[in-house]
């Protein structure tokens, strides 16, 4: 134990005797480690932000809208438009075994909402009771629509968070009344804020019973059914069954509207499950690339440490010869130079990891969680583990090779070296 402490003392004296060289060597390694962790952390921030953004829409949601039917496959002449209907939604719920939930709604942005205090122009949505089960819509005050509201076509609304502030600035809204294109509705609930940043589209909506919407504010246009709706949004039984569920929905819609369900151009849809997977693959590839770049950077830093240690061995050749002539063993010489290389690498890596973690904490405190599509970078455990593992390997190589060179010196030849 005493011998090991003496060797460590010699290692630190050697590092301290060449302060500038040691600093520059350690800075290169620390910079490489910090860069690796920051780049991977930024990538994970984007990945997390995208996931959070999709989660604001709902869980495992597939959205389908009315589309156009080409006269012939892969041709875009003589296109015939079609609208989805309430019967389509009912058919999907009863005839698609791999769909666990489906909801229909009408969305109109040309209606005028007025309270006794102010007015607003956000979109008005006629929705079903199960809308919050498919789409993300938490309620902050009051309640959401229920089955009686739809069955009795009640004149009630739920306000989005931003619309609540616009229509009732600084005043209570529950139980109050608004008019939509002259029709009087009572406020029964207020939704929580949805999304982050300045994206207030979802927060400027007003929700009323779909049955009331069909009666008072149906879809407008020429030659469309009376029960036309804007969209049907559904969830597969499990995320892995998204393609099976889509095939079933395509078959139902195609049969009901008289076209081949294999005509992909006839469907206007968005599969958020597929989008999330694609985003995940992109960021996984980015992480692999950045991890590879980081490993190469650390390997180059290890080469630099090997060069520095070889220079150190050359400079201290006579010292090594003298120590061996006085009885120092090859093992003690090897241990000293090995520990010196390992300590240089290890301390550099720890400084890099702590520096990156500190910078991420500062960025998180400064940015918060309000940036749309982007979360603050965070220290990813696997990247830190990879950095430590690579540093350990580099430190062993960087310390062992020069140490072997020093330990193999013959005392007489070392003393004669100029």
**Per-residue pLDDT, 149:** 95
Last residue within a domain, chosen from 266, 301, 319: 266
pLDDT over threshold 70, residue 26: yes
Averaged pLDDT, 330-356? 76
Averaged pLDDT, 321-335? 71
Single out the residue of 308, 300, 244, 243 nearest to residue 277, CA to CA: 243
Same domain flag for 14 and 44: yes
Domain membership flag for residue 271: no
Same domain flag for 147 and 184: yes
pLDDT over threshold 90, residue 414: no
pLDDT over threshold 80, residue 173: yes
Last residue within a domain, chosen from 223, 244, 266: 266
Same domain flag for 312 and 237: no
Same domain flag for 96 and 211: yes
Averaged pLDDT, 347-369? 78
Q: Which residue has the higher pLDDT, 343 or 144?
A: 144
Indicate the DSSP class of residue 47. H
Q: Is 73 helix (H, G, I), strand (E, B) or coil?
A: coil
Q: Which residue has the higher pLDDT, 220 or 168?
A: 168
Averaged pLDDT, 328-336? 71
Domain membership flag for residue 272: no
Same domain flag for 249 and 348: no
Strands (DSSP E) found in 213-296:
231-236, 268-271
Last residue within a domain, chosen from 243, 266, 289: 266
Domain membership flag for residue 62: no
128, 105 contact by CB (below 8 A): yes
> b/e map of 67-91 (b: 16 or more CB within 10 Å)?
bebbeeeeeeeeeeebbbbbebbeb
pLDDT over threshold 70, residue 240: yes
Same domain flag for 357 and 320: yes
Same domain flag for 32 and 143: no
Domain membership flag for residue 159: yes
For residue 375, name the pLDDT band (cuts at 50, 70, 90): confident
Same domain flag for 86 and 219: yes
Question: Which residues share a beta bridge with 269?
Answer: 64
**Per-residue pLDDT, 38:** 81
**Per-residue pLDDT, 307:** 73
Q: Which residue has the higher pLDDT, 105 or 224?
A: 105
What's the whole-number average pLDDT of the chain?
A: 81
Domain membership flag for residue 61: no
Record the tokens describing residue 274, joined without a space: 């597929």
Pairing between strand 124-127 and 99-108?
antiparallel
Domain residue limits at 310 = 2-55+277-416
What is the per-residue DSSP string for 145-202?
Answer: --HHHHHTT--EEEE-HHHHHHHSTTS--TT-EEEETTEEEEEEEEEPP-SSTT--TG
Q: Is 371 helix (H, G, I), strand (E, B) or coil?
A: coil
Residue 321 to residue 412: CA distance in whole angstroms: 7
Domain membership flag for residue 63: no
Q: Residue 61: which H helix or E strand, with range?
A: none
Same domain flag for 44 and 86: no
Single out the residue of 389, 64, 80 nearest to residue 253, CA to CA: 64
For residue 191, name the pLDDT band (cuts at 50, 70, 90): very high
**Per-residue pLDDT, 241:** 92
**Per-residue pLDDT, 245:** 94
Range with the largest mean pLDDT of 45-54, 71-80, 128-137, 406-415: 128-137
Q: Which residue has the higher pLDDT, 67 or 417?
A: 67
Domain membership flag for residue 87: yes
Q: Helix-strand-coil percent breakdown of the chain, rounded to 5?
A: 55, 15, 30
Q: Which residue has the higher pLDDT, 111 or 306?
A: 111
Averaged pLDDT, 126-145? 93
**In the chain, how long is the greatest CA-to-CA distance?**
106
pLDDT over threshold 80, residue 215: yes
Single out the residue of 348, 337, 339 nearest to residue 312, CA to CA: 337
Same domain flag for 23 and 103: no
229, 84 contact by CB (below 8 A): yes
Same domain flag for 253 and 326: no
pLDDT over threshold 80, residue 142: yes
Residue 197 to residue 212: CA distance in whole angstroms: 32
User: Which region among 38-42, 226-230, 290-294 has the lowest average model confidence (pLDDT)?
Assistant: 290-294
321, 413 contact by CB (below 8 A): yes
Could you write out the three-class secondary structure of 39-51? HHHHHHHHHHHHH
Same domain flag for 151 and 44: no
Task: Give how many domains the chain has, as a whole number.
Answer: 2
Domain membership flag for residue 60: no
**Per-residue pLDDT, 176:** 94
Size (the chain), residues: 418
């Amino acid at each position: 134990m005493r011998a090991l402490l003496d060797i460590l003392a010699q290692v630190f004296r050697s590092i301290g005797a060449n302060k500038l060289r040691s600093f520059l060597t350690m800075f290169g390694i620390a910079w490489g480690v910090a860069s690796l962790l920051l780049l991977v952390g930024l990538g994970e921030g984007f990945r997390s932000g995208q996931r959070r953004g999709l989660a604001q829409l709902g869980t495992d949601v597939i959205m389908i809208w009315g589309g156009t039917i080409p006269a012939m496959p892969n041709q875009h002449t003589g296109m015939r438009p079609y609208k989805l209907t309430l019967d389509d939604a009912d058919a999907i719920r009863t005839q698609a075994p791999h769909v666990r939930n489906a909801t229909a709604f009408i969305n109109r942005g040309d209606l005028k909402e007025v309270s006794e205090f102010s007015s607003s122009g956000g979109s008005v949505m006629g929705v079903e009771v199960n809308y919050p089960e498919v789409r993300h819509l938490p309620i902050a005050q009051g309640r959401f629509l229920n089955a009686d509201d739809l069955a009795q076509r009640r004149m009630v609304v739920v306000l989005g968070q931003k619309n609540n502030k616009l229509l009732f600035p600084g005043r209570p809204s529950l139980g109050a009344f608004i008019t939509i294109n002259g029709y009087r509705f009572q406020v029964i609930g207020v939704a929580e804020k949805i999304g982050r940043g300045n994206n207030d589209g979802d927060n400027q909506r007003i929700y009323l019973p779909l049955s009331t919407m069909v009666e008072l504010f149906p879809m407008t246009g020429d030659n469309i059914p009376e029960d036309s709706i804007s969209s049907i949004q559904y969830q597969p039984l499990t995320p892995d069954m998204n393609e099976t569920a889509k095939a079933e929905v395509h078959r139902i819609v195609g049969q009901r509207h008289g076209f081949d369900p294999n005509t992909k151009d006839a469907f206007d849809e968005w599969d958020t499950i597929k989008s999330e997977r694609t985003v995940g693959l992109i960021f996984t590839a980015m992480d692999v690339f950045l991890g590879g770049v980081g490993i190469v950077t650390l390997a180059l830093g290890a080469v630099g440490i090997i060069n520095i240690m070889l220079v150190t061995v050359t400079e201290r050749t006579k010292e090594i010869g003298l120590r061996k002539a006085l009885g120092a063993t090859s093992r003690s010489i090897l241990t000293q130079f090995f520990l010196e290389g390992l300590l240089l690498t290890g301390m550099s890596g720890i400084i890099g990891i702590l520096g990156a973690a500190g910078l991420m904490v500062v960025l998180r405190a400064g940015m918060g969680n309000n940036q749309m599509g982007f979360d603050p970078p965070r220290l990813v455990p696997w990247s830190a583990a990879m950095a430590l593992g690579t540093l350990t390997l580099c430190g062993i190589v960087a310390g062992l090779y020069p140490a072997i060179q020093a330990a193999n010196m013959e005392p007489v030849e070392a003393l004669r070296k100029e």
